[in-house]
Amino acid sequence: MRLVMLGPPGAGKGTQAKVLEERYGASQLSTGDLLRQNVADGSPLGAKAKSFMDSGGLVPDDVIVGMMEVPLAKLDSFVLDGFPRTVAQAETLDAMLGKLGKPLTAVLLFDADRATLLRRLAGRWTNPRTGRTYHLEFNPPKVAGIDDQDGGPLVQRPDDAADVVAKRLETYDAQTAPLVEYYDRTGRLVRIDGLQAIGDVTAAVQKAIDARSGAAA
């Protein structure tokens, strides 16, 4: 199983990636994690990436894709969340996976309307010590502003503020629309209703994987 997950912030990609990891042993690969690991290890690609990161520039596509190549070569099942971000990255990824003999099973697009995403993200509060999250509407703590388990204060991350969330969603739309078109044109895109209950989303993901695996077979 080799998947790319697309969808705006708050659409539930991370939750489903964890389900797939537990159910199938599919490794979730994050460009952010790979960047940090390569920089920490002092690898040649890490050093190259750090020079751009330190100057505030965007890390070039060839560096990002190069970091993905080693883990992708080792893994039979993986879930890519947050990569690719551009059509150029998608084309390079296809070429790399073709060389490895590991074509994508499917590209899952998690759809959700903007009003719901704003409610989901702007109501989120986090325990900065553990990463545990709550939501004012969907999963509130027993005492406002206090973690149920360790009694410490909860905070709202700066990128979960309503105005920042709106900007993040605008950026996603601008960056991802061409990518959605690319995968749709090549017949690998499957749309998932991200507003369903988590169990229903998982069932839809499973159905999509089964259908694509059967088509590939």
Q: Please, which pLDDT band fits residue 215 given cuts at 50, 70 and 90? A: low
**pLDDT recorded at residue 107:** 95
Give tens-digit pLDDT for 181-195.
Answer: 999 998 999 999 988
Domain extents in the chain: 2-26+77-112+173-216
Q: Please, which pLDDT band fits residue 90 given cuts at 50, 70 and 90? A: very high
DSSP letter (8 states) at residue 9:
T
Q: Please, which pLDDT band fits residue 153 given cuts at 50, 70 and 90? A: very high
Give tens-digit pLDDT for 6-64.
Answer: 988 888 888 888 888 888 888 988 887 888 889 889 999 999 988 887 776 778 888 88
* Catalytic residue positions, numbered: 13, 85, 124, 157, 168
d(CA 123, CA 49): 34
**pLDDT recorded at residue 214:** 60
- Mean pLDDT, range 174-183, rounded to an integer: 89
CATH code of domain 2-26+77-112+173-216 = 3.40.50.300
The 3-class SS string of 112-172 reads CCHHHHHHHHHCEEECCCCCCEEECCCECCCECCECCCCCCECECCHHHCHHHHHHHHHHH
| pLDDT above 50: residue 177 | yes
Q: Half-sphere exposure of 156 toward its Cβ, with a 13 Å CA cutoff?
A: 17
**pLDDT recorded at residue 140:** 93
**Overall residue count recorded for the chain in this entry:** 217
Q: Bridge-partner residues for 108, per DSSP? A: 5, 190
**pLDDT recorded at residue 217:** 43
| pLDDT above 60: residue 94 | yes
d(CA 149, CA 173): 37
153 residue type, one letter = P
d(CA 186, CA 174): 20
Q: How far separated are the first and last CA of the chain, in Å rounded?
A: 12
pTM for the whole thing?
0.77
Using an 8 Å Cβ cutoff, are 19 and 206 in contact? no
What's the burial of 147, exposed, middle or buried (CB within 10 Å: 0-12/13-18/19+)?
Answer: buried
Give tens-digit pLDDT for 95-142.
Answer: 999 999 999 999 999 988 888 888 888 888 999 988 888 988 888 999
Query: Which of 190, 196, 183, 204 shows the shortest CA–CA distance to 20?
Result: 204
